[in-house]
Amino acid sequence: MTVLQNEVKFLSQHDIEVQELANQIQKNVLDMETGIRGYAITGDEDYLEPYNLASRSWLDNYNKLHSLVADNGEQQRNLEGIKPLIISWISNSGEYVINHKKENNISALNEHFESNTGKEVTDQLRTQLDSFLAEEKKLTAERIDQLNQGNTNLKITLYAIIILVTAITIATAFFLSNSIVNTIRQVVKTIKSITDSEIDLTTRIEVKTKDETRELAEAMNDLLYSLEKQSWVQKSVAEISTMYQGITDITELTQAFISKLAPLLQATYGVIYLRRSHEGEIHYVKVAGYAIADEERASVSFRLGEGLIGQAALDKRVFLIDKLPEEHIKVTSGLGASSPRNLLIAPILVEDRVEAVVEFATLQPLLSQHITLLDQLQDKFGSAITNVARQMEVERLLGESQILTEELQTQSEELQAQSEELQMQQEQLLSANEFLEEQKHTAEQRALELKIAKDELESYSLQLEMSSQYKTDFLANMSHELRTPLNSILILSQMIMENKDGMDMSEVREFTSMVHSAGGDLLRLIDDILDLSKIEAGKIEILTDEVNVTEIPQTMKNMFNPVAAKKNLTFEVHTDSDVPPIISTDGQRLQQIWKNLLSNAFKFTEEGSVTVRIALAHPENVEGLFGLEVGGPVLSISVTDTGIGIPLDKQQIVFEAFQQVDGTTNRQYGGTGLGLSICREFTHLLGGAIDVQSEPHKGSTFTLYIPSRSESDYQDQVDHPALAEVAASVSEIHEESESTKEDTESKWVERNEAGSSDAQLFKGKKVLLVEDDGRNVFALVTALEKKGVKVQVAENGKQAIDILQEEADFDLIFMDIMMPVMGGYEAMKIIRHDLKMENLPIIALTAKAMKGERDKCMEAGASDYIMKPLNINQLFSLMRVWMTEQVNPN
């Protein structure tokens, strides 16, 4: 087979390669001839590329072919005759034509081609190459015939080997089958005897071979061993089960069980613990034992989880321990004592509850059939324990019932006598119950009346508490919002009035511009408060007129396009085609409402857009949502922004006076919080409703619904609680302010004697002004710098903390209370406690002039307190007090 394989390999590689190389040489000659002819005709050197390639490669192909036919001298000689012809053609014809063509010697070329010298050489080359290839094909055919003959011989040899191997295999199989059949016959005989129950399970099959029959015999022996164990277990279970019959005492049952089982397990020691429950605690108590020599060594009881007995009961699993120490227990006999080395502890379960725990000690290791026997006895012994226990309980209860029956009979006679007496008492109680029932009904009625009165009192108390809180919040916010613009007005106007340093006209104009701006803010705030007061007093007059709806979009754009451009916001107004051109309502109040809504939208939107949509609302939707009695068209104006949004729990309080989403005094966005409150009240007076849909950080949509109504429809719509006790509270604030002023001036009588002039005291002093209102900052910085004071400004408490951490050389701090990000209270606490600046004077500036505000500022860490609007002389007086105290601390 190896020789044949080599022959096939030689044919597939050598012969094919020889023929391919011969063809390749022939192709090289043809390429050279074609190349020079094309070049000679066209003069294009691209035609020489095949010639050049062939002239370089033909010799390599020739050398390879010459080496391949080295075993055939005749073919080598034929091949050697071809080489000089190729060389001659290249030099005498190929190079000759190329050189004369390059010299453009046409006559020499014509003479060459007419003589046909090159063609004769190429024809001779083709003839010799064809002869060479024919000889190679002949040799290949001879080799194929030899290969076919070798294949035929190989087939004959293989058939002979197969016949010989088959004969040997049949003989071997016949020998082995006899051996296997004999073993199988023994196994079958044994299996038949097992089914007929006539076999001795202790017998075993002997096999001397070491093949599969041995494995079969050993498997049969294992089966016999297993059957022997099962037979022993079944027999032992049957013996122990018959022993339970007729036993009615639990102690007798357990003693008989352990006395029978211990010898079967080859145990030299045994004990049984039964489950007992006392006052909710479970114990396992020893009730029977086997071969116990020393009763004191066997524990009387175990709690659940205590020792191996308690742990086996807790885990509901078997413990099998070998190699016990010799001192664990001794088994004694007449001749001596010995130490068991193996211990078996097993729980007896009935319906997943451990009724007993058994323990055995053996000298020899426990076998698997011993564990199997104990496992099969668990249910039977557990059931026997519960049955005997129930039977004993039944007998006990039967005895007790007999005693109780006798006692009941005696009591029955006594009760018969008492029954007649109770009959008389029952009649008396019946009449008493009727009287008590009437009393009960009266008491329940009174209790109900008291509960109603209590609920009314609690409701009234809650209303009073809410009213008080409303008054407090209103006064605090009103005080702050009024005093903030008023503060800058008073300071700047006082500076203009005194004009001690001779201000030029540009400074005067700047001061008066600030005063005018603050006055405008103050006037608008007062107008808002007056509007609210008129609404609550029922003195707002609604003037119904025809309002041109088509003019509203342009009015909105004229008012708010500059605001949108300043904040780089997109502002669009869309009007639906079905909107009526004219509606009947109070046009001034309507404009005030949408103007406030748009002002809020632009104030709380930092980027994105504000969009207004004017549409005709569907009457059924409006009536369903707001309970409006719609008799005509209802105009819907929705204002949508992409601002900060409103949390769901605060979407209603934003309509209360002085309320914003951020209701703290240090909120980020300023304003009085009156705009939406006025919108709500005006909307109510116009018979409409206002709705808000919002999501934090995604924007808000306020939708205004205004019906077209006549003037008579607006009567009796005002029903709001009046703002009470405002004057009294303002009086209290004024008194506290005057008291603060007197205290400050008093301190300066006391300390001015040791001080110096303002110029010497204030010049070069460094003051930190913490204030968020730009007008107040401008007024205070101007006033302080004229005194020679260096002022650094922080817009909120957090900025102030950052500045103080970097530079702590300030002589005084002016601290506003109500600021965004961080208010004055928190900032003063951090300065005093965290920054440890206990001696740095801090003067609190607040427009939130509520009663007790001074005490709150002092508790937060302020050195002194002054209310807005500020009296500049009083401010300088306070500065003299605290700067003098810094110079002369004693």
Higher-scoring residue by pLDDT: 760, 537 = 760
From the candidate CATH numbers 3.40.50.2020, 3.40.630.40, 3.20.20.70, 3.30.565.10, the one assigned to the domain spanning 541-717: 3.30.565.10
User: What residues have CB less than 8 Å from 290, skipping those under 6 apart?
Assistant: 258, 259, 262, 267, 269, 270, 271
Least confident span in 264-278, 393-407, 465-479:
465-479
Q: Report pLDDT for 339.
A: 75
Sort 400 into a burial class: Cβ within 10 Å, 0-12 / 13-18 / 19+: exposed
pLDDT of residue 488: 67
Digit-coded pLDDT (tens) for 350-380: 888 888 999 988 888 888 777 887 887 777 7
Average pLDDT (670-694) is 76
Highest-confidence segment of 251-265, 477-491, 632-646: 632-646
Per the prediction, the chain carries an average pLDDT of 76
Structure tokens at 458: 């609690």
Label residue 753 by pLDDT band (50, 70, 90): very low
| CATH assignment of 2-159, among 3.90.1150.10, 1.10.10.10, 1.20.120.1730, 2.10.109.10 | 1.20.120.1730
Under 8 Å between Cβ of 752 and 880: yes
Q: Are 831 and 809 in contact (CB under 8 A)?
A: no
Whether 677 shows a pLDDT value over 80: the answer reads: no
CA proximity to 860, closest of 821, 832, 889:
832
8 Å CB contact between 136 and 15: yes
Of all residues in the chain, what percent carry a pLDDT higher than 90?
10
**Cis peptide before 869, with omega less than 30 degrees from 0?**
yes
Three-state secondary structure call for residue 165: helix
Q: How many residues does the chain have?
A: 890
pLDDT at residue number 199? 57
Mean pLDDT for the stretch of residues 64-68: 79
> How do residues 587-616 score in pLDDT, each as one tens digit?
888 888 898 899 889 988 999 999 999 999
Q: What distance in Å separates the CA atoms of residue 126 and residue 119, rounded to the nearest whole number?
A: 11
Q: Residue 424 pLDDT > 60, yes or no?
A: yes
Across the range 557-561, mean pLDDT stands at 87
Per-residue pLDDT at 484: 65
Say if residues 826 and 856 touch (Cβ distance below 8 Å). no
pLDDT at 26: 78
Whether residue 720 is predicted with pLDDT greater than 50 in this model: the reply is: no
Confidence of residue 662 (pLDDT cuts 50, 70, 90): very low
Instruction: Report the pLDDT value the prediction gives residue 614, as an integer from 0 to 100.
Output: 94
Q: Which pLDDT tens digit goes with each residue over 148-196?
A: 777 777 778 888 888 888 888 888 777 767 666 666 666 666 666 655 5
CA 233/CA 231 separation, integer angstroms:
5
> Which whole number is the average pLDDT over 715-737?
41
Residue-wise pLDDT for 23-33, tens only, equals 888 788 888 87
Are 866 and 874 within 8 A, CB to CB?
yes
**Whether pLDDT at 382 is above 50:** yes
Residue 189 has what pLDDT?
A: 65
* Ramachandran quadrant class, 347 (left: phi over 0; alpha: psi -120 to 50; beta: rest): beta
Is the model's pLDDT at 726 over the cut of 50?
no
Phi-psi region of 14 (alpha: psi -120 to 50; beta: other; left: phi over 0): alpha
- Cα-only R_g, the chain: 61
Question: pLDDT band at 445, cuts 50/70/90?
Answer: confident
> What is the pLDDT at residue 331?
74
Q: What is the pLDDT of residue 553?
A: 92
d(CA 245, CA 874): 113
Question: Which residue intervals of the chain bear CATH 1.20.120.1730?
Answer: 2-159
Phi, psi of 547 (to 5 degrees): -105, 125
Residue type, 511: F
**Range 758-782 average pLDDT:** 86
Percent of the chain, pLDDT > 70?
74
Instruction: Assign 814 to helix, strand or coil.
Output: strand
**Residue 190 has what pLDDT?**
65
Cα(135)–Cα(75) distance, integer angstroms: 8
3-state secondary structure of 185: helix
CATH 3.30.565.10, the chain: domain bounds? 541-717
Within 605-715, where are the H helices? 619-626, 675-685
244-366 CATH pick, 3.40.50.2030, 3.30.530.20, 3.40.50.10090, 3.30.450.40: 3.30.450.40
CATH number for the region 727-887 comes to 3.40.50.2300
SS3 203: coil
- Which part of the chain is CATH 3.30.450.40? 244-366
- pLDDT for res 615: 92
Least confident span in 86-95, 460-469, 614-623, 810-819: 460-469
CB 739 within 8 Å of CB 852: no
CB distance 550 to 581 below 8 Å: yes
Contact 851, 732 (CB under 8 A): yes
Query: What average pLDDT does range 619-624 have in this prediction?
Result: 67
Residue with more model confidence, 7 or 313: 313
What pLDDT does residue 729 have? Answer: 40
For residue 290, what are the β-bridge partners? Answer: 270
- Given a cut of 70, whether residue 500 has pLDDT beyond it is no
- H or E segment at 669? none
Q: Which of 105-119, 190-204, 282-296 has the highest mean pLDDT?
A: 282-296
Residue 201 has pLDDT above 70, yes or no: no
* Mean pLDDT of the region 314-339: 79
510 pLDDT above the threshold of 70 = yes
Does 712 score more than 70 pLDDT? no
Q: What is the DSSP string of 559-583?
A: HHHHHHHHTT-EEEEEE-TT--SEE
Using pLDDT thresholds of 50, 70 and 90, give the confidence band for residue 236.
confident
Cα angle 842, 844, 845 (rounded to 5 degrees) comes to: 140
pLDDT reported for residue 576: 92
pLDDT in tens, 471-491: 666 666 666 666 667 766 777
Poorest-pLDDT segment among 227-241, 379-393, 579-593, 794-808: 227-241
Report the pLDDT value the prediction gives residue 752, as an integer from 0 to 100. 42
